[in-house]
Amino acid sequence: MADIIKLLPDHVANQIAAGEVVQRPASVVKELLENAIDAGATTIKLIIKDGGKVLIQVVDDGLGMSATDARLSFERHATSKIQKAEDLFNLNTKGFRGEALASIAAIAHVEMQTKPEKEELGTHLKIEGSKVIFQEATVTPKGTSMAVKNLFFNIPARRNFLKSNQVELRHITDEFHRVALAHPAITFHFYNNGNELFNLPSDNYRKRIVNIFGARTNQKLVPVEEETPIVGIKGFITKPEFAKKSRGEQFFFINNRFIKSPYLHHAIVAAFEGLIKSDSYPGYFLYLEVDPASIDINIHPTKTEVKFDDEHSLYAILRSTVKHSLGQFNVAPALDFEHDPNLQTPYEFKNKSVVQPKVTVDSGFNPFQEAKTRPSPSRSYQKPNTKSWESLYVGMESKMGANDDSESISFESDIITGSIFEGEKETTEAVTTTFQIRRKYIVTTIKSGMVVIDQSRAHQRVLYEKFLKNSTVKQAVSQQLLFPLNLSFSKSEINALQEIEDILVSIGFIFEEIKGESITVTGVPLLVAESEVGMILDQLISDYQQELTEESFSHTDILSKTLAKTLAVKTGETLDNVSQIALVNDLFACKEAMVSPFNKPVYITITENDIDKKFI
């Protein structure tokens, strides 16, 4: 048999390797920024066009390259950073594989200009799909400029796979944050389509964080510092009250390299235990220094995962260090022994105003009198919006007995008595149509039995449909604020706000100004309290950013969901009778009363049949 194994030509091998190194424009950004840092740059400029699909350019003032090095740098396994295998265990540079430039040049149009300090002339080199188009001497400042154009021009499948410019820019920005946070001494500029997104002067860690995430971040930061033989830790955690519902500002750096580590993340979460709600995440910016020989960063091609020699000790040290900082800065209660957990206020109630218990006296109550017989049905709610009952009806059809008169579902109001549901006092009004169980469910009766409604999900559904409707009708109802509200945000939050401004306006927000790092709000949707505006916008932005990277389909939908979730009554809230009735009516006027905006069941029905069966 003839030999059939052949060595792949270099450009094919490079294309294959590129698949590992370059997933999307953000991967190129990461590699180029890291190369600039490895070259000892003090100022780095990042220029992006159309989410990096058209152009990604990094300009640095680092070492530069000689003409030979310039050409060699695009060869696979060409690196100046290691020479022998042992060097891998003592790495002080970001790169070491010598793969990035070769990979990038295999799948894009690359143009480089570079010059070492001592030389008169620099080198101008152009490569397209691994082919050198030209190389010539040129006048250029010290350092390197690397422009990557038309990414994946020769791999249409990959190009088509790229997301919208906005989504790609989001990924690039995340990558930029990681690099800029790890190197506060380096000055960074970041331009997108000609606009300056970030201008970060050389500074200390705290100022770098504040410059990226906005002035109001400063008050959130609690310093962390610890020196042990295994690890040096410095950096910041955010105060528990600023914990966010979505993951966002969580950064670990090992020897100034951003890493992801679910295990170490857990150590931080453990340190915050009891201080934040279980569905919120603490923010942190933690810089760990370890002996390079004690870690292996070689296990992942894009190098965000790291293997540690002594993970368990690292975990324990990190957890206690963070705990210590929380205590030292009076963020956590210092003494928490003899704490009766029964006396602790659940978080949901912490910021709630006290609800005055209502006591109603039935002046006409006579214990010796027989229970009144009430006309049946004494009051029914069916008429005002007959059509909407259909949605309720649809859900119940299957559960109804064949002999039920399903034509007329009426909400009866004369069945509830205090004796069945212990602790729930029957109001003395002749008629009640709903009641609340455990401040969680609202129960109401229907002809065939009863409906048990999850109050929070029901309200979410009602609000969600309201917001959706408002935004399609284009004439949202807003309430003017007496005094305009000034709120500050980080640059990227402001960008996000600008992107969703139209939608926010369509659901009732009015902005006088969104610029720089602050916004002025003059009107809010009808259901939003002024005191909640900051919190709600925070939530909207972070949900939007999160969903954006997860590629959800409609922004209006995301925002309506978030608003509904944020504003809905929660489990644990007492609802008076009027609100209960209103909620039930509103719910069954919804298009899809059965499920919450998050696809959870909103109510269940229990038919008389079901109940009868229990008594057999």
Is residue 546 a contact residue for ligand ADP (CB under 6 A)? no
| CA 120 – CA 521 distance, rounded (Å) | 56
The distance of Cα 444 from the centroid of its chain, to the nearest Å, equals 37
Is residue 45 a contact residue for ligand ADP (CB under 6 A)? no
In the complex, the smallest distance separating the C-beta of residue 86 from ligand ADP, rounded to whole angstroms, is 17
In three-state secondary structure terms, 412 is coil
Is residue 142 a contact residue for ligand ADP (CB under 6 A)? no
Q: Counting Cβ atoms within 10 Å, is residue 328 exposed (0-12), middle (13-18) or buried (19+)?
A: middle
Q: Counting Cβ atoms within 10 Å, is residue 252 exposed (0-12), middle (13-18) or buried (19+)?
A: buried
In the complex, the smallest distance separating the C-beta of residue 112 from ligand ADP, rounded to whole angstroms, is 8
Query: Quick check: 151 and 25 in contact, CB under 8 A?
Result: yes
Residue 178 DSSP code: H
Q: Counting Cβ atoms within 10 Å, is residue 257 exposed (0-12), middle (13-18) or buried (19+)?
A: buried
State the residue number with the nearest CB to Mg ion. Answer: 95
Assigned token pair, 230: 């295994």
Is the CB of 95 or the CB of 282 nearer to Mg ion? 95
Give the one residue of 15, 27, 57, 73 binding ligand ADP; rule: CB under 6 A.
Answer: 73
45: partner contacted, choices ligand ADP, Mg ion, none (Cβ within 5-8 A by kind):
none
Give the one residue of 25, 51, 52, 98 binding ligand ADP; rule: CB under 6 A.
Answer: 98
In the complex, the smallest distance separating the C-beta of residue 150 from ligand ADP, rounded to whole angstroms, is 19
Is residue 39 a contact residue for ligand ADP (CB under 6 A)? yes
- List residues bridging with 295 in a β-sheet: 308
Amino acid at 173: T
| CA 431 – CA 444 distance, rounded (Å) | 12
Is residue 63 a contact residue for ligand ADP (CB under 6 A)? yes
Q: With CB under 6 A as the contact rule, which of the stretches 63-71, 179-187, 430-438, 504-512 interacts with ligand ADP?
A: 63-71
Is residue 79 a contact residue for ligand ADP (CB under 6 A)? yes
78: partner contacted, choices Mg ion, ligand ADP, none (Cβ within 5-8 A by kind):
ligand ADP
In the complex, the smallest distance separating the C-beta of residue 136 from Mg ion, rounded to whole angstroms, is 24
Is residue 44 a contact residue for ligand ADP (CB under 6 A)? no
In three-state secondary structure terms, 39 is coil
Q: How many Cβ atoms sit within 10 Å of the Cβ of residue 321?
A: 24
Give the one residue of 28, 31, 319, 442 binding ligand ADP; rule: CB under 6 A.
Answer: 31
Query: Quick check: 571 and 348 in contact, CB under 8 A?
Result: yes
Give the one residue of 23, 43, 66, 80 binding ligand ADP; rule: CB under 6 A.
Answer: 80
Per CB under 6 A, contacts with ligand ADP among 338-397 are none
Is the CB of 19 or the CB of 232 nearer to ligand ADP? 19
79: partner contacted, choices Mg ion, ligand ADP, none (Cβ within 5-8 A by kind):
ligand ADP
Query: Quick check: 514 and 501 in contact, CB under 8 A?
Result: yes
The half-sphere exposure of 182 on its side-chain side, counting CA atoms within 13 A, is: 24
Is the CB of 123 or the CB of 562 nearer to Mg ion? 123
Is residue 101 a contact residue for ligand ADP (CB under 6 A)? yes
Give the one residue of 14, 15, 35, 492 binding ligand ADP; rule: CB under 6 A.
Answer: 35
- List residues bridging with 224 in a β-sheet: 235
State the residue number with the nearest CB to ligand ADP. Answer: 95
Amino acid at 169: L
In three-state secondary structure terms, 467 is helix
Amino acid at 91: L
Cα–Cα nearest to 155, from 18, 13, 49, 302: 18
At residue 20's C-alpha, the angle toward residues 93 and 92, to 5°, is: 5
Is residue 148 a contact residue for ligand ADP (CB under 6 A)? no
CA diameter of the chain: 110
Give the one residue of 14, 15, 24, 60 binding ligand ADP; rule: CB under 6 A.
Answer: 60
Is the CB of 19 or the CB of 327 nearer to ligand ADP? 19
55-60 and 518-525 strand pairing: unpaired
Is residue 523 a contact residue for ligand ADP (CB under 6 A)? no
Assigned token pair, 444: 């109401």
Give the one residue of 25, 95, 377, 449 binding ligand ADP; rule: CB under 6 A.
Answer: 95
Assigned token pair, 81: 């950073």
In the complex, the smallest distance separating the C-beta of residue 505 from ligand ADP, rounded to whole angstroms, is 44
* Count of residues touching ligand ADP (by CB under 6 A): 24
Measured between alpha carbons, how far is residue 152 from residues 58, 161, 173, 175, 203 in Å? 18, 10, 20, 19, 36
In the complex, the smallest distance separating the C-beta of residue 348 from ligand ADP, rounded to whole angstroms, is 50
275: partner contacted, choices ligand ADP, Mg ion, none (Cβ within 5-8 A by kind):
none
Which stretches of the chain bind Mg ion, using CB under 5 A?
35, 95, 100
Is residue 97 a contact residue for ligand ADP (CB under 6 A)? yes
Is residue 65 a contact residue for ligand ADP (CB under 6 A)? yes
Q: With CB under 6 A as the contact rule, which of the stretches 55-63, 201-209, 276-284, 383-391 interacts with ligand ADP?
A: 55-63
Residue 126 DSSP code: E
In the complex, the smallest distance separating the C-beta of residue 32 from ligand ADP, rounded to whole angstroms, is 7
Is residue 147 a contact residue for ligand ADP (CB under 6 A)? no
Is the CB of 32 or the CB of 496 nearer to Mg ion? 32
DSSP codes joined into one string, 516-538: TTEEEEEEEETT--GGGHHHHHH
* Residues engaged in binding ligand ADP (CB under 6 A): 31, 35-36, 38-39, 60, 62-65, 73, 78-81, 95-102, 144
